[in-house]
Chain A
Amino acid sequence: MAPLSTLGTVNAPALAIRGLAMTRGYRTLFRDLDLDLAPGQVLQLTGPNGTGKSTLIRLVAGFLRPDAGSIRWSPLPEELSPGEWLHYSGHHEGLRDGLTAHDNVCTLASLLGGDPSRAEAALAEVGAGPLAELPVEVLSAGQRRRVALARLLAAPRPVWLLDEPFTALDRDGQALVRRLIAAHAEAGGIVIAATHQPLDLPEMRHLALGGPAA
């Protein structure tokens, strides 16, 4: 069976951010931020703590409303509801204690419009196959992270928003994330990742927040 991460091509919309401004707790994080991403592109977000990396990702995910500016995706199939083309992976994995890894991925897959029957294969692909029947609260932080990554494969979506995807992962896990990102971009998807770890991709965009220029 072909690995899920290389299945088919992805039809990603292009992202256009214009004049984005955001204030958090009286402080302006960024203003007049412009950004364009085409299908197949990977953007790495860097910047010191508290400069708005997570905020920018949550803005793009549609969880927050900007103070000014616009975030547009085009072209979008009309039948999609807001956020339906996005994967968001943040500091919290979205896994619920009390359920097994497999149940968690199945639920997330159904929730996100994927195929729950792919959960098993997805877990195997992120190296969490043997953990499938364990309740997630007994897993280590790195193992949980892997389980959380499985939903990216179980419910294919063209845009991935990854906030600190390498946290708690061992060297193998980090290599896995790099491989998944590369494969997703190759297939035509968009990835925005906030991390200070090198992504080592040939074609990559870079945005540093919080600098004097930003």
Chain B
Amino acid sequence: MKAWLAILARDLRLARRVGAGAELGLVFFLILVSLLPFAIGADQRFISRIAPAFLWLSALLATLLGLDRLLQADEEEGVLDQFLLAGAPLEWLLLAKALAHWLVTGLPLSLVAPLLGLMLAIEPQAMIPLALSLLVGTPALTLIGLIGAALTVSLKRGGLLLSVLVLPLTVPTLIFGATLVKEAALGRAFTTPLMLLGGMTLLMLVIAPVSAAAALRHARQ
């Protein structure tokens, strides 16, 4: 537990110092949202209709930011070797890194999303469900990204490849998340998509650390 907390604290501190922290991801999110009307016109009703989908897509892209360096920087400087010698399993330590990443990307994003939803004229009754869907769903995105980060850990230009590997796997999360907000905007019950979204996150909580750790162990063989 001590090792786990040390990694979590270190990554949060790094995020703050290196400047790849919460602010930048949020600015990116804001830019994406403000680009939308330029692309499709200022028709408020149309914007309102595609807003849930677009917010979820933007969140997906914002989560990808920084994933390529999530493990690579540690690998290059030999820190992952030290992870392997720690008393705690590598899978467990990787969860700390994923949590740190989510705390500076997914979490602030989820909290700010209703504000941006306001700009995109989203239905008022969908505001809370929007934040809720992102809170429950973005951890799955970060965890899927963790797998991609582990697979591309030794590649010089792994960023693009990582997106290519990761994005198809995010299809279910995107479907459940965007549908949840859409259903809420129509005033319908959204329990089913919420359960499915939570299920995705729980499943990835198991699959991602295991496969990422396997990838890292095999990468040094």
Identify the A interface with B (CB < 8 A): 58, 61-65, 80-81, 83-84, 86-88, 90-99, 103, 106-108, 110-113, 116, 135
**C-alpha gap A103/B81 in the complex (Å):** 18
Question: Interface on chain B toward A: helix, strand, loop, or mixed SS?
Answer: helix
Q: Is B23 an interface residue (CB 8 A)?
A: no
Inter-chain contact B221/A94, CB cutoff 8 Å: no
Interface residue from B9, B18, B82 paired with A94 (Cβ < 8 Å): B82
The smallest beta-carbon distance between B17 and chain A, in angstroms, is: 5
**C-alpha gap A135/B16 in the complex (Å):** 14
Inter-chain contact A83/B14, CB cutoff 8 Å: no
**What are 10 residue pairs bridging A and B, where the CB atoms are less than 8 Å apart in the complex?**
A58-B220, A64-B220, A84-B87, A94-B77, A96-B77, A97-B77, A99-B10, A111-B86, A113-B87, A135-B17
7 smallest A-B Cβ distances: which pairs? A92-B78, A110-B6, A83-B85, A94-B78, A107-B10, A94-B82, A111-B3
Which residue of chain A is the closest to B20 with respect to CB atoms? A98
Inter-chain contact A93/B13, CB cutoff 8 Å: no
Which residue of chain A is the closest to B14 with respect to CB atoms? A98
Which residues of B in the span 207-221 have a Cβ within 8 Å of any Cβ on A?
Answer: 220-221
Count residues on chain B whose CB falls below 8 Å from chain A CBs. 29
Which residue of chain B is the closest to A62 with respect to CB atoms? B84
Interface residue from B10, B14, B85, B93 paired with A86 (Cβ < 8 Å): B85
Known: A84-B87, A92-B76, A107-B6. A99 touches B82 (CB 8 A): no
Inter-chain contact A116/B6, CB cutoff 8 Å: yes
Interface residue from A86, A93, A135 paired with B77 (Cβ < 8 Å): A93
Which residues of B in the span 66-108 have a Cβ within 8 Å of any Cβ on A?
Answer: 73-74, 76-79, 81-89, 93
Known: A96-B74, A98-B17. A111 touches B7 (CB 8 A): yes
